[in-house]
Structures are given as structure tokens and as C-alpha cells.
Amino acid sequence: MAKEELRTRLGIDFDDFSQDGLLDLIIGDAQAFFKDYCNRDDIPEEAESVIARLAVVLYSRNADQYKQGGVVGAYSTTNFVLGDDIPKSIKSQLRKYRVVMFT
């Protein structure tokens, strides 16, 4: 996923580069979460949209450290279930990419 896509999803001006460092970290975290949660080393191209949604959630959580509740892009920070790592809607989308690991 490109920073430009994340900027668009978050409603950040296309020429605003002030948050690029944070956006790079968030994209990396979203991709790492996907790989860990799904037990994968790769990211299928069709999974990019769910990773983008996850990145929006991670961005929102970062902002929540400084404020209570609110909306970032199309996602409300009230979508979280207490104790859940990610919103149920994203978790259900991730299920189809999970790989079963046998130990």
C-alpha cells in the first residue's frame, strides 16, 4: 500500500508530507500484523484493501493517545470491542487469508 492511498483514506492533503514518517510506520505495522495474524510470509495483492483499513485503525489508535473518541476518515474510534485487538469487521476479512500452522 502506498502512502498516497493512506493519505486519501485519512483525508490528509495530498501535498502534506508532515506525517510521512508516521504513515510509513503505520503501513509497516499493518503489514506486519497481517503476516503475523494470518501466519504468512507474503501479502497477496487482494489483501491490500483490508491492510489499508487496518492502517486507518492503527492511525486512529495513535491519535487516540491524545484525545478521547472521534472519527478518522470513515472509521469511528468507537468501533472497538473492549479487549479486542482489531475491529470485528476487519478480523472477519482477515480470516480468509489465514494459513493453518501445524506444530
- Residue 102: inside a domain, yes or no? no
pLDDT, tens digit (0-9, with 9 covering 90-100), for 59-103: 988 765 534 445 555 554 444 333 357 889 999 999 999 998 887
* Gyration radius of the chain's alpha carbons: 14
Q: Residue 2: what pLDDT?
A: 86
SS3 95: helix
Provide the mean pLDDT of the chain: 82
Specify the number of domains making up the chain: 1
SS3 3: helix
- Residue 44: inside a domain, yes or no? yes
pTM: 0.76
Which residues, at least 6 apart from 84, have a Cβ–Cβ distance to it below 8 Å?
A: 91
Instruction: List 71's β-bridge partners, or say none.
Output: 76
Expressed as residue numbers, the domain containing 22 is 3-97
